[in-house]
Every structure is written in C-alpha cells, then in structure tokens.
Structure 1
Amino acid sequence: MKQRDHLVGYLFVAPQLIGSVVFVFVPLGLVVWYSLHEWNVLADSFSFVGTENYAALVDDPRLPGVLRATGLFSVGLVVVNLGLALLLAVLLNQRLRGTIVFRTLFFSPVVVSLVAWTIVWGFLLQDDGGINGLLRLTGIDGPNWLRGDGTAMGAVVLVQVFKNVGLNMVLFLAALQGVPAQLYEAATIDGAGAWTRFRRITLPMISPTVLLTSIITVVGSLQVFAQIAVLTQGGPGTSTTVLVYYLYQQAFQFHHFGYGSALSVLLFAIVLVLTLVQWRMRRRWVLDET
C-alpha cells in the first residue's frame, strides 16, 4: 500500500516534472554549454572557446548602455505598474456602482494578444498617430514618441503598463477583499485617518500579495522583447535596447550564438539574484514572515 501510494504521487507530479526537465533544465544546460563555444551556423563551425564569451562581456562597450536601458525600463515598469495597480484596486474595492464594468475594462488588455496590442499602440504613438491627433485638437504639438531620445523609453514603459496593470490590479483586489472589516472599524473608532488605516492595516495585510506581484513584475520587466522589437527596434540609437533584445541581435541577427548564450546566462543570473534578494527581504516587511 505504501509503495502504491508513492507510485500514485510520482504519477501525479510526473507531467510537471517532465515538462520542467524538457523545457527548463535541459535548455538552461544547453545555453550554458553553448556559451562556452563559438558557434557559426553560416560556416557550420562549432568550436570550444572556454570563457572567451564571458570575457567579451566585460570588454563589450555597448553592454553598459544596454544594462542601463534595462534598469530604466524595469524600474519604470515596476514602480508605475505596482503603484497604479494598487491605486485602481483600492478605488474598485469601494462599494460603488459600476465597479464591475471598470474591473472588466482594466483587465481586458491582459487577455489581448501582446503583438496586436503593441502594433495598435505603435500606430497611436507615431508622429501623425492618434495620440498627437488628440493633442493637436487642444493646440499642443506632440513629439514623435517612439523616435525621441527623451520619450521612447517612457512610451514603451507605458504601453507595457497599460497591458498588464489589470493582472496586478485583480491580485491586489482579491487581497484587499480578504482584509477583515473589523480592523478598519476598530481603527476608525480609535481615531485613525484614511492614510493611517492604509499604512498600518491595508499594506501589512496585503504584503504577501505585494511580494508576489513585485517578483512577477520584476521578472517580466527583465524579459521584455516583443514591445521593443515592434515599437522601437532598440532605437533611437540604443536608448531602448534592453538585454533580451540585445542578445536576440547578437544571436539571431549577427549569428554570434556563443556570445548570445553568454548574454542569456547573464540575464538568468540577474533574474536569479533579484528574485533571491526580494525573497530574503520579505522577512523585513511581509506580514507573518519574521
């Protein structure tokens, strides 16, 4: 009976385990292996070079700018997305008429195709697009949002925020609805204002959800590709060339598959470190984690 129970348990976890091995661990191992080689598909050559590709990371003059653009995009996306999602969740958690309609409107972009969403916003943000058309009605001459050094990154960040803010909003909304109303009633009787109740009750009670959404958003911000490829192609110049788009250029446009694999390992290391840092810091601000 004990062996049969173990067998049943292994059968239940087998699909997930096999999928993880085939689609996660094996590709990750192959990427590390390829990063130790110089692979030229056009010349049909595959030679071992050791750590030369990693040494090239240190000497790459474009990499600091790429990392800077990646950091700007990630910080902008995380701050605006989480802040806006929490604000919308607090507003929609009120007992007001029409909140179901607004929840649907804010969440609907999440289920829209990413490429289709990005293409539509690409037309809207052109020099003669819909956004500038609306601004001209008010007498404002808008810039070319996707071609200006000072506007391209902000435009890409906002497109991504509007696409995924609904997901974090729903998660925050579910967490807010789980906060006991008695806590707010007791705080109100004690004379606590709205901001004090939010800071002392709401944020601590939903802190596990804040941790979850922050990890998801940070990881997602470091993996952005389609928005850059469709909207700016890394321009103007290299101002929006984030790490994923740069490794795509190296591997699939310049055919430096070994160096592209080394960039992939660098991306994996950055994601791993940031996730571990957030996970360790949870003990300081997440409720019941101390």
Structure 2
Amino acid sequence: MAVVQQTARPEGRSSSSFWTVARRDSLAGFLFIAPQLIGITLFVLIPLCLVFWYSLHEWNVLANTFTYTGATNYQMLLEDTSLPSVLGATAIFSAGLVIFNLSLALLLAVLLNQKLAGITIFRTLFFSPVVVSLVAWTIVWGFLLQKNGGINGVLLVFGIDGPNWLREPVTAMISVIVVQVFKNVGLNMILFLAALQGVPNELYEAARIDGAPRFKQFRRITLPLISPTILLTSIITIVGSLQVFAQIAVLTQGGPGLTTTVLVYYLYQQAFQFHFFGYGSTLSIMLFVIVAVLTFAQWQMRKRIVFYES
C-alpha cells in the first residue's frame, strides 16, 4: 500500500493561493476598463469639480484675480433677465432638431431599406455630410442663406423674393435647425437602417397573410422592434442639440437679438467674450444639470417606449 507523503509548502509561495482565477479575471477586467476610467476621471470628473469650484469664485483673467464669492453667481443666474430668452431659444432649437432629425432619418432609413440596384450610392450620399467638416459645412450654408445667396437666387427664378434668412427672427432659427438636421441626419439614418435590417421578415410575411396594410405593419411590427434604437437616437440627438455651438457662432452669432442664442453660445459669451468666468462656470453647471435630468428622464421612460423592456 502506497503511502502518500504530504510536503509542507515553503514559506514565500503563498502568492499562488492569492491569485485565484476569480481575482485574475477581475484584474483583467479592471485593466481593460482602465483607459476609459482614466479618461473619464481626467476629462470629465475632475473638470466638472473644477467648474463647480470656479462657479463659487469670480476669476478676472485680465486683472489676475481669483476671488471667492460664494453663491453670488447663482444669485445672478436667478436674476438674469436674458436667461429666459436663452432657455426658450434652446428649447425651440432642441425640439425642432429632435423632431425633424428623427423623423427624416427614419423616413430615409425606410426608403433606403430596399434591395435595389445602386441603393448603396444613395445611402452614401445621405451619409456623406456626417463626415464633412462642421465649420466648412456651416460656412457654405452661410453663403447659401445670405440675402443674395444661392437659395434666394433659386427662389428668384420662380419669381419669389426670398428673405434674409439669417437676419430675421423666425427664419434665422429655422435656418439653423435645417442646417444642423442636414448635417447629422445621416448618422441616425444609418442607425435606423441597421435596426430595420434586424427585423425578421417572417413577421412581415405573417402580417401580409393576415391582410395587414403597410402602415399597420409599420406601427405594429417595425416601431416596437426598433424602439431601442429610437431611444438611443433620441438621447444622442437631444444631448447633441443642447451642446450646439459652431453653427450658431458661424451663422448668426446668436442674433438677431437673442432669438438664436442657445445656452452653450450664451455660456461662451459670458466666459470668453465678457470674461465672466465665474458666471460662465455657473451656466455650465446648469447645462450639466439639464442634460443629466433629460437623459435620466428618457432612460426611466424606456419601460414604456422600448419593446424589450418589462
């Protein structure tokens, strides 16, 4: 009968028992997320804390002074007579952008979700503005929307005297929304197109056998199954609409008056044109709160609008 002899483990070799499979897997997971975690800490969390700290001070760069003012900037926020107009312009721009962008993107995705010869060319054409430089795109549209620009030139052929699109209150906001919609509609179109191609054809075949018309198929089958993509694109579009700056700065500079002065551009004016860095930081905090609240509200609504959520 063989005798199994157990040898004592030498001291200093207990590290193998510490690095268990679970701990090695956890370490590998942390290493994979470390770059993103470091990036969020350096470029999101720390700047956010600094912005809050700056909002409690008045920083005069020209005089090289940094004075603690407490809640003075937040009191100025409540007493700012221009802020209601700025928030109103921001709400109009965001609502117009979200409605027209998502509607047009979904319509284009449905039209381009066909197996036809040359359909890839049309998909590329509608997506191409997304990869164009934002400033270059805006400058070109600025020339087209001038009083004697290309759009009014086309209208003049039909005997229509077009307005000065960027200098009249109503047309200025419409122009900015349209320029932004045409710039980014291709991105949402691609997302919707990918979602539509993931809908099983068997469901449409069963609906056609039951005699369901196309609109009812779209409402009962397509919309519920692409609802996660609708939620994603709505969040992306709303957050993007609240951060728009270059289009306003190039096209209208916030005018006429405050009709196109959205919150980000107003923040830029206060901080970098008027050198009220403390008040600009306070506006940044308000913008962060607005974006966070809207994103949280949309995420909480997912159980009602997303088909897969229960």
Give the TM bin, normalised by the shorter chain.
over 0.9
Given the two structures, how large is their TM-score scaled by the length of structure 2?
0.92
- Matched residue count: 290
Aligned mate of 1:264, from 272, 281, 284: 284
Matches of 2:265 and 2:220, distance apart in 1: 41
Question: Which residue pairs with 2:135 in the alignment?
Answer: 115
Matches of 1:186 and 1:11, distance apart in 2: 48
2:221 partner amino acid: I
What SS does structure 1 have at the residue aligned with 2:58?
A: strand
Residue 69 (structure 1) aligned with residue 121 (structure 2):
no
Q: Deviation of residue 150 (structure 1)?
A: 1.4
How many percent identity over aligned positions?
A: 72
Matches of 2:308 and 2:143, distance apart in 1: 47
1:51-107 superposed Cα distances (whole Å, 9 cap, x missing partner): 111111110000000000000000000000000000000000022232111100000
Residue 52 (structure 1) aligned with residue 47 (structure 2):
no
Matches of 1:102 and 1:86, distance apart in 2: 15
Q: Deviation of residue 285 (structure 1)?
A: 1.5
Matches of 1:249 and 1:169, distance apart in 2: 34
Matches of 1:6 and 1:188, distance apart in 2: 51
Matches of 2:265 and 2:76, distance apart in 1: 18
Given the two structures, how large is their TM-score scaled by the length of structure 1?
0.98
Matches of 1:190 and 1:45, distance apart in 2: 75
Question: Which residue pairs with 2:251 in the alignment?
Answer: 231
Matches within 5 A, 1:272-287: 272-287=292-307
State which drifts further: 73-82 or 8-17. Answer: 8-17
2:61 partner amino acid: V
Question: Which residue pairs with 1:100 in the alignment?
Answer: 120
Q: Deviation of residue 288 (structure 1)?
A: 1.6
Q: Deviation of residue 10 (structure 1)?
A: 2.0
1:146-173 superposed Cα distances (whole Å, 9 cap, x missing partner): 0111100000000000000000000000
Question: Which residue pairs with 2:217 in the alignment?
Answer: 197
Computing the radius of gyration from Cα coordinates, the structure with the larger value is 2
Question: Which residue pairs with 2:13 in the alignment?
Answer: none
Residue 6 (structure 1) aligned with residue 26 (structure 2):
yes
Q: Deviation of residue 5 (structure 1)?
A: 3.3
1:205-259 superposed Cα distances (whole Å, 9 cap, x missing partner): 0000000000000000000000000000000111000000000000000000000
What SS does structure 2 have at the residue aligned with 1:47?
A: strand
Matches of 2:284 and 2:293, distance apart in 1: 14
Matches of 2:32 and 2:97, distance apart in 1: 37
Matches of 2:34 and 2:65, distance apart in 1: 37
Aligned mate of 2:50, from 17, 27, 30: 30
What SS does structure 2 have at the residue aligned with 1:46?
A: strand
1:110-150 superposed Cα distances (whole Å, 9 cap, x missing partner): 00010010001001111111111111111111111101111
2:151 partner amino acid: I
Question: Which residue pairs with 1:87 in the alignment?
Answer: 107
Q: Deviation of residue 12 (structure 1)?
A: 1.6
Residue 148 (structure 1) aligned with residue 168 (structure 2):
yes
Query: What residue ranges of structure 1 are gaps of 5+ in the alignment?
Result: none
Matches of 2:176 and 2:96, distance apart in 1: 10
Matches of 2:294 and 2:63, distance apart in 1: 38
RMSD of the alignment, in Å?
Answer: 0.9
Residue 160 (structure 1) aligned with residue 180 (structure 2):
yes
Matches of 1:97 and 1:38, distance apart in 2: 62
Q: Deviation of residue 192 (structure 1)?
A: 0.7
Following TM superposition, where does structure 1 have runs of at least 4 consecutive aligned residues deviating by more than 6 angstroms?
A: none
Question: Which residue pairs with 1:136 in the alignment?
Answer: 156
What SS does structure 2 have at the residue aligned with 1:95?
A: coil
Aligned mate of 1:217, from 233, 237, 252: 237
Q: Deviation of residue 44 (structure 1)?
A: 1.1
Q: Deviation of residue 191 (structure 1)?
A: 1.2
1:31 partner amino acid: V
State which drifts further: 188-197 or 220-229. Answer: 188-197
2:96 partner amino acid: G
2:60 partner amino acid: N
2:186 partner amino acid: G
